[in-house]
Amino acid sequence: MADGGFARHLVWRFEALAYDIVCILLKPFSFDAISTFGGWAFEFLGPLTPKHHIARTGLKLAFPDANEKQTGTWLTTQWNNTGRTFFEFPVLHRLRAFEPEGRIRVLGIDKLQAVIDSNRPVVIVTGHFANWEVIAVVLTQSGLPVQITYRKINNPYIDARVRTQREAYGTKFFVPKSGRKGARQLLNALDKGNSIALLNDQKFNEGLSVPFFGVNAMTAPGPARLALKSGAPLLPLSVTRDKALFTVTVHDPIQLEDTGNKTQDVENGVRLITNFMEDRIRENPDQWFWIHRRWPKNHYR
């Protein structure tokens, strides 16, 4: 057990056992009840954790003109959204994206269908909006050949369970984000006609420093770079929630300019994607994943 040692693996196994127990306890309950309980639990527990300071700092950086009452309301509702998202995950396999009167409404479905009909891949970009896993449900159940990137969970036993649960709602192809090797895998997927989907709104230390709500933040250049290199369109998606109901929107493609100046073209693409993220967050400030430390550490002291 050179990758962690006996003690670490023992802790991992206890964590996995706790995860299994939670999943078992959730089984008898409806999706609505599970989502509601998760929101309530995190509204109570979230403010007691160090993550509350991170969320407050992020909201203040993004919305410096918001008063304390507005910021406090957003903090409460973002904890509700985060709790719902975490508790919904083990039961996402219950969702069917294209059932009439279902929990998921898809806007711009014609754009997604056009991609499917064209048999040409696209680079899909999205962020940690509402329950972002619902986008994976929509993409995989749409019939689009798609590979979705993910970051492995540190606990390998929970990571294996999560992958199995994702497969239960149709997502079977994951490409680890692992530098140049991962980029080659993604380019190979595009070459084979598979679309790829990436989350592009979290801190990436090896990325580009571009303004995010006016404050520079390290941002991954991967989606822009892959779209420019492959010639595949860059298609943004977002999701919002109304309690345990979801609306996934397929937006118009982001137009990238290929001037031949690779460095500048990639940076321009990153800025356009970042603008898209900002616009979606402004529309629903309480439905983004604020507990991630998006900006440099010195802002959170």
Q: Is the pLDDT of residue 1 over 60?
A: no
Give me the pLDDT at residue 39, please. Answer: 98
Between CA 123 and CA 206 the distance in angstroms is 20
Q: Rounded mean pLDDT of 247-256?
A: 97
pLDDT value of position 235: 98
pLDDT category at 297 given cuts 50, 70, 90 is very high
Conformational region of residue 270, where left means phi above 0, alpha means psi within -120 to 50, and beta covers everything else: alpha
Residue 172's pLDDT is 65
- Strand residues in 96-214 grouped as ranges (E): 104-107, 123-126, 146-150, 174-176, 195-199, 203-212
Q: Could you tell me which CATH class the domain 5-300 is placed in? A: alpha beta
Mean pLDDT score, 53-60: 98
Q: Where are the domains of the chain?
A: 5-300
Cβ(149)–Cβ(198) below 8 Å: yes
Does residue 4 surpass a pLDDT of 70? Answer: no
Average pLDDT on 243-253 reads: 97
Cβ neighbours, 10 Å, residue 38? 22
- Provide the pLDDT confidence category of residue 75 given band limits of 50, 70 and 90: very high
Q: What pLDDT is recorded for position 9?
A: 86
Q: How far is 174 from 53, CA to CA, in rounded Å? A: 33
CB-CB contact of 126 with 132 (8 Å): yes
Enclosing H/E stretch for 131? none
Please, which residues bridge with residue 146 across strands? 195
Q: Of the given ranges (30-39, 94-103, 226-235), which has the lowest mean pLDDT?
A: 94-103
Assign 77 a pLDDT band (cuts: 50, 70, 90): very high
User: Does 151 have pLDDT greater than 90?
Assistant: no
Indicate if the pLDDT at residue 143 is higher than 60.
yes
Convert the pLDDT of each residue in 266-283 to its tens digit: 999 999 999 999 999 999
pLDDT of the residue at 176 = 62
Q: What is the tens place of the pLDDT at every residue in 220-246?
A: 999 999 999 999 999 999 999 999 999
pLDDT (0 to 100) of residue 163: 84
Residue 167 above 90 pLDDT? no
- Interval 105-122 mean pLDDT: 95
Contacts of the segment 169-174: beta carbons below 8 A, 24+ positions apart:
169/92, 169/93, 169/95, 169/136, 169/137, 169/140, 169/141, 170/137, 170/140, 170/141, 171/136, 171/137, 171/139, 171/140, 172/140, 173/146, 173/147, 173/148, 174/147, 174/148, 174/149, 174/150
Average pLDDT, rounded, for the chain? 92
